[in-house]
Structure 1
Amino acid sequence: MSSGTRLFLALYVINTVTASGGHQVTSTPAPVGPVFAAPVGNQTAAIGREAVFTCSIRNIEKYKVGWLRTSDRTILSVHARTVTHNTRISVSYETGGGGGVAGDSGNSGSNQTSDEGKIGTWRLHIRHLKESDRDCYMCQINTSPMRSEEGCLDILVPPDIVYGGETSADLAVSEGDNATLTCRATGRPAPRVSWRREDGEQILIRSPSSTSSGVASLTRHDTFNGSSLQFHRVERKQMGAYLCIASNDVPPAVSKRVTLAVNFAPAVKVPNQLLGAPLGTDVQLECYVEAFPNTINYWLKHRGEMLLDGPKYSIREERSGYRVLMWLLIRRFTQEDVGTYNCVSTNSLGKAEGTLRLYEIKIFGIDMGGRANDHISIHGGLAEAARGSGAARRGGAYMKMNTFHKVCFVLLILLPQFWPR
């Protein structure tokens, strides 16, 4: 530095100190330009809703503000003008008072208000949110170097069950095989998957570990949590419709119905294999059948004649799931009806039958043509006194009596024959 320059600087300092009355003057720092008044912040919103990012800037002065999508640097807006072609996106602007700052003009004593300190707010609106809107968004000021604040948008998505190979369709297996029902769901956050039976019954799950007796126990669950529902050595009572339910606290929850069918050959049970009835009464025979798939059921007399529904015989059945209850009502029992009857059930996996033997109970000295309301029901060779309207009862034969004394007379005759010795 030359001696002349040093002299100039020294004179400048002296003059400055003298003008201030001998006191050192601290000058006000020059404005620092635009600054962000607050962070942009992150947003979380459900799909289909609206998200709003807020960018507040102090001292914007001559500079411009723009919104950009961070991942691909797509410009969405410049200052208060939207430039993207996406009609779901818009920008709004408002100015707010941050408090004007008074400036000192020296000895003139006059005050003037500047824009320094005022806050401008730019809001980015994204309506009808889609999953593709999940990204970060930048509020940028065209200073040099550029200044920016960033906020990220997370989109919540309700659960949806994935169809196809990842979720089970209706399943049919043979009894004793293993079966697995699977259900996969998507969503954000990741959905929770649970299973319930459609009929409200508990879910039976066989534990893979065996008990001390070597037989794995069945545990009962009102609800089973998990995407896979596994059945080891499946049984017929595990057959049914199961509901896969997916939820993640973003409504609505969704469900899918999956049917598990367990195939097995028919099995027939006869509750009363030996039935006796007096002549002239109606006799009802019944059989219980368990089978799947559905069976063809019929009745045989004396192992040869197939019985048909008509004036003499009334044939009906009641089906509930894999269970069937078969009834045969023989009207006006005669000597020709004495003999053997078979209930037969058959499906694609096999055939089964039950045998019932019907015999005559001889009752002497009783008027069978009486019309009194008192009657006696004889079921399986045993007698049961009853009073009523004379309606037929399941599994027995009925005959009307004139008086209560006749009922007592019949009991005295029959009970010694069947009382265990």
Structure 2
Amino acid sequence: MLEDPEFKAPIGNVTTPVGREAILSCTIDHIAKYKVGWLKAEDQTILTLHDKVVTHNVRISVTHDNRSTWQLHIRQIKESDRGCYMCQINTSIMKKQIGCIDVHVPPDILYEETSPDLSIREGDNASLVCKATGHPPPRITWRREDTEYILLRKSLREITKVESYNGSTLYFWKVDRKQMGAYFCIASNDVPPAVSKRIILSVNFSPSIRVPNQLLGAPLNTDVQLECTVEAYPNTVNYWDKNGEIIFDGIKYSVKEKRANYIVYMWLLIRHFNKTDIGTYKCISTNSIGRAEGTLRLYGM
């Protein structure tokens, strides 16, 4: 009398990155005259019957090793292949085993649901949102492009500094100019590659001017340098003024400035300082939001 076939080991579950091949193995003792079939467990769709492929899916094939181990192969696996599969023996009382395939998918940024570059007035609230798909669900991490700390305001006086922030929404309460910059939202789920999107947060505010030396004395017949520091965004138009007349770069004066993010350093060099140069000078800065000026008084020593 022939022995009934028996499963030697569980099929087990398989995890495969999308695009690769997934293999489920069904090992049976005493298969004899009986037939082995593979089915999609969810809807009982027959995929293979013994050594023949029944489905029209060209990515599916079946192999067997001396009629002992029957393997279901799914090439170029897709997300739609995720699920459980049944190895079935056509005994009088049907015998079956189930194994499942989990398809891992690398992350992808959902651009329509992710914030574009954002421009906001200083003191308003702002949120940067980043959404991504993938399996397992991706983690979202925020970092600054310039590797500086992310500043998170908890109250008017309490600010937390962090190298990175985890979560799909990066919230800024009463946004400050120091929070302006380019941020990366990075989506990762341990299925390479991780992906990122660069989002620029612009903080708009009217100019403010700081004058290091408001009263400056200099010996006659020397070169004298005046200096102002401007903070503003968007970019400013800056110039020097004496007695209502704009000072231009030339033989008598050297006008220079240097920008660093939202800070502008202004310098006015007065060559061969003489009595006619004594007086009040103004550094003036304007942008689309406002105007500011700083006053310097220059006298001879």
TM bucket normalised to smaller: over 0.9
Report the residue type matching 2:84 in the other structure: C
Q: Which amino acid aligns with 2:181?
A: G
Deviations along 1:212-237, one digit per CA (max 9) or x if unpaired, are: xxx44111111122222111111111
Residues 142-194 of structure 1, C-alpha deviations (whole Å, 9 max, x = no match): 23333222111111122222211x32211121111111112122222222222
Larger Rg, first or second structure (1 or 2): 1
Indicate whether 1:36 and 2:36 are aligned: no
Paired-residue identity, %: 62
The letter of the residue matching 1:86 is N
1:244 and 2:180 equivalent?
no
Distance (Å, rounded) in 2 between the aligned partners of 1:319 and 1:335: 32
Shift of 1:253: 1.6
- Structure 1 residue 249: Cα displacement: 1.6
Query: 1:269 — aligned with what?
Result: 210
Shift of 1:198: 1.3
Deviations 1:258-291 (A, max 9, x none): 2111111100111011222223222111100001
Q: Does 1:358 align with 2:295?
A: no
The structural deviation recorded for 1:353 is 0.5
- CA offsets 1:40-86 (integer angstroms, 9 cap, x no match): 22111222222111111222222222222222333222212223333
> What is the distance in 2 between the residues matched to 1:138 and 1:126?
14
Equivalent residue for 1:130, pick from 51, 65, 78: 78
How many pairs align? Answer: 301
Which of 38, 57, 61 lines up with 1:90 in the alignment? 61
Distance across 2 between alignment mates of 1:81 and 1:94: 14
1:348 lines up with 2:295 in the alignment: no
Rounded Cα–Cα distance in structure 2 between residues aligned with 1:128 and 1:319? 53
Residues 92-124 of structure 1 show CA distances to partners (whole Å, capped at 9, x for unaligned) of 1111xxxxxxxxxxxxxxxxxxxxxxx621111
Aligned-partner residue type, residue 253 of structure 1: A
Matches within 5 A, 1:15-414: 30-95=1-66, 120-164=68-112, 166-208=113-155, 215-302=156-243, 304-361=244-301
Cα deviation for residue 327 of structure 1 reads 1.0
Distance 1:312 1:130 in 2: 74
Letter of the 1:193 counterpart: I
Residue 178 to residue 151, structure 1, CA distance change in 2 (3 Å): same
Match of 1:159, SS state, is strand
After the TM superposition, which of the residue ranges 352-361 and 82-91 deviates more from structure 2?
82-91
Separation (CA, whole Å) in 2 of partners of 1:340 and 1:276: 12
**Higher percent of residues as strand:** 2
Q: CA deviation at 1:314?
A: 1.4
2:70, 2:170 → 1: CA distance?
52
SS in 2 for 1:336: helix
- How much has 1:322 moved relative to structure 2? 0.8
In structure 1, how many angstroms separate the alpha carbons of the residues matched to 2:88 and 2:147? 58
Identify the structure with bigger relative contact order (alpha carbons < 8 Å, sequence gap 6+). Answer: 2
Letter matched to residue 28 of structure 2: I
